[in-house]
Structure 1
Amino acid sequence: MTKGANNVDRSREWADLKERYLRPPSQRPTSSARGLHHFALLCNNVEETIIFYQDLLEMPLVELFENRDYQGSTHFFFDVGHGNYLAYFDFPGLYVGEYQEVIGGLHHIALSVEKSKWDRLVVKLETAGIEIQIVNDSSAYFAGPNGERLELLTYPLNDMYGNVIGAPAVDLITTLRSTGAVRQFTDEGVSDDVLFRILDSARFAPNGGNRQAWKVIAVKDKTLRTTLADLYAGPWAQYQALGAAGLTPWSPYGDRTAENEIIAEHERNAGSAQTTDEFVNALFNAPIVLAIVADLENLVATDRDLDRPTMAVGASIYPFAWNILLAARAEGLGGVITTMHVRIEPEVKNLLAIPDHFALAAVIVIGHPEQTISKLRRGAVDSFTTVDRFTGPALVELPNTHRTQP
């Protein structure tokens, strides 16, 4: 650590400031700001700046247009993750001096990246001949193409040297449009503190009568996880075989005779060979594995007496499961809700000592994603929404409709 010029111990001063001004989370007022819209800097050369951020640092250019306040000036933006943007201007013909550190001025910009990406970007920067200062194998300091000081660090967005900074920030619309199923994870662990925060947020999910009929089992024991992987492998292989045959696996209105024939043929071809593949083993080596079970004595099944499989009870359980994924996303994590174990529920209930009146609703696996997904493929609104009746006209987008995102 670099010592200050006066080399004075200020620990007592800092403790006093925290005591007087740092309020407990429950006593902090809601911020008046909706968020950091963008951070704007000046550049010397637009193209060089784009190449540096988009190609070298892998932070894509998302918009470019003329500066509203200065004719001929370019205003352009880079996606730095989590709904945040770093913006630049150029001012042709206007002399702007070189960067200097001044009181009230910019010291540096710190950008959070996962450790595996940090390692890759450091190599790219070094290969490009850019001078880097590495600190504790977690921070990389270097200068951008315009002299701006940048830091790549491996700490999560609300963590600094192990100190929690406020609460995890989340942009709801971005999260809703980009939270897909994640099944491949890095080796980075997830602490119990993070898991607790995830569940503490997820518990506010809407549910019938506020009965909160869910129970969560966090599976940590390696032997239990191995058994869960082995149990998963059978239904997973059957699911793939049925899908490959052009069927919707286990559809309530599916052809059960055809399903049984396909599964029997698959099992004959597979023989007695071990079917727990690398994908399944990796899935259950994720940092977090949660079994979500539902108290059947405390669920309202309004469609219980209809001549079809019940659907209504899920409305009191699956919003909670979805909230877990959303809360995990706010922590920089990803995951997947799988119901494959429901096919062999008795074995899972026996393994995890689940009482008879509880049903296995899902297993949720969570970790640090190997790859961050920013766009998902889904059907357009007019492909699934009609007006007044099932056969009514599609709900179409009006010409002047403002979308939050494309």
Structure 2
Amino acid sequence: MSNEIPVTDDLPDSPIHTTGTDHMTIWGSNEEDTVAFYRDLLGMPLVLRQPNLDDPSQTHLFFDTGDGRIITFFVSDDRESNPYGQRGAVGSVHHLCFRIAPDRFEEMIEAIDDDGRSYNIFDRGIFFSLYTHDNNGLVIELSTDKYDIPDDRRGEVLAKVQALREADGSDFAEDKHMKAALEELGMDATAHELPDAPTGTGV
């Protein structure tokens, strides 16, 4: 069934078309640990703090993820952080991914290491990723693009990569598909220098 659904950057014939991501809200632990991870380690400014309007006994924290898009947390000082990770289930969050500038990727690795956090790094074929956990037990992916691709053309590029991957019979999108997609689309995208890492699957 899934192979019968087309992959394309064309707008679907649907009654609604979203215009982007506004924010995501997470059930968090406490304010101190949440601020320590998202502001003090990842560098997201804390831009708003107010009561949870549906439950004023909790505090609602708003962080700017770097491009004006927001991630928010409901926190309470009586909740401990979760060092054990989240259980997967239908409707639950598998991971959150935030973008890192390519020229700061190795510096970011050092910061995660200095903070005493475990992590894994993978070459995902078309991008690079580091995986760690936040204070709530959520898997956090910090990714960087291998090539300098304008935001307004990312969907177009990925759809072309998908078409090339399918034509090639590959199990996943590889660097060669990204290079070919950029060439076919006439995009002169700069390749970034990134560290060596295992390729393919795993978290």
Q: TM-score, normalised by structure 2?
A: 0.64
Q: How much is the aligned-residue C-alpha RMSD, in angstroms?
A: 3.6
Identity across matched positions, percent:
24
Residue number among 120, 137, 140 corresponding to 1:133 in the alignment: 120
Query: CA 1:102/1:95 → structure 2, altered by over 3 Å: closer, same or farther?
Result: farther
User: Whose strand fraction is larger, Structure 1's or Structure 2's?
Assistant: 2
For 1:123, the equivalent position in structure 2 comes to 110
Query: CA 1:147/1:92 → structure 2, altered by over 3 Å: closer, same or farther?
Result: same
The Cα of 1:159 is off from its aligned counterpart by 4.6
Matched residues in 1 for 2:64 and 2:9: separation? Answer: 32
The Cα of 1:92 is off from its aligned counterpart by 5.3
Residue number among 94, 99, 121 corresponding to 1:112 in the alignment: 99
Using CA pairs under 8 Å that are at least 6 residues apart, name the structure with larger relative contact order, 1 or 2. Answer: 2
The Cα of 1:53 is off from its aligned counterpart by 1.1
Unpaired runs of 5+ residues, structure 2, are 161-181, 193-203
The Cα of 1:57 is off from its aligned counterpart by 0.9
Task: Report the AA paired with residue 41 of structure 2.
Answer: L
The Cα of 1:36 is off from its aligned counterpart by 2.3
Residue number among 39, 58, 61 corresponding to 2:46 in the alignment: 61
SS at match of 1:122: helix
* 2:32 corresponds to 1:47: yes
- After superposition, give the CA deviation of every residue in 1:335-386 in whole Å (9 maximum; x if it has no partner): xxxxxxxxxxxxxxxxxxxxxxxxxxxxxxxxx9xxxxxxxxxxxxxxxxxx
- After superposition, give the CA deviation of every residue in 1:211-249 in whole Å (9 maximum; x if it has no partner): xxxxxxxxx9xxxxxxxxxxxxxxxxxxxxxxxxxxxxx
Higher alpha-carbon Rg? 1
The Cα of 1:109 is off from its aligned counterpart by 0.5
Q: What does 1:129-208 align with in structure 2 at a 5 Å threshold?
A: 129-136=116-123, 138-155=128-145, 159=154, 164=158
Matched residues in 1 for 2:185 and 2:48: separation? Answer: 34
* 2:70 corresponds to 1:82: no
SS at match of 1:111: strand
Matched residues in 1 for 2:81 and 2:119: separation? Answer: 26
The Cα of 1:17 is off from its aligned counterpart by 2.4
The answer as to whether partners of 2:81 and 2:135 remain within 8 angstroms in 1 is no
User: Whose helix fraction is larger, Structure 1's or Structure 2's?
Assistant: 1
Task: Report the AA paired with residue 15 of structure 1.
Answer: N
Q: TM-score, normalised by structure 1?
A: 0.34
The Cα of 1:82 is off from its aligned counterpart by 2.7
Matched residues in 2 for 1:193 and 1:80: separation? Answer: 32
Task: Report the AA paired with residue 117 of structure 1.
Answer: R
Query: CA 1:24/1:115 → structure 2, altered by over 3 Å: closer, same or farther?
Result: closer
- After superposition, give the CA deviation of every residue in 1:32-86 in whole Å (9 maximum; x if it has no partner): 3343221111222212211211121111111111111112211011111333111
Q: What does 1:210-221 align with in structure 2 at a 5 Å threshold?
A: none
The answer as to whether partners of 1:76 and 1:88 remain within 8 angstroms in 2 is yes
Matched residues in 2 for 1:110 and 1:58: separation? Answer: 14
Task: Report the AA paired with residue 45 of structure 2.
Answer: P
The answer as to whether partners of 1:142 and 1:151 remain within 8 angstroms in 2 is yes
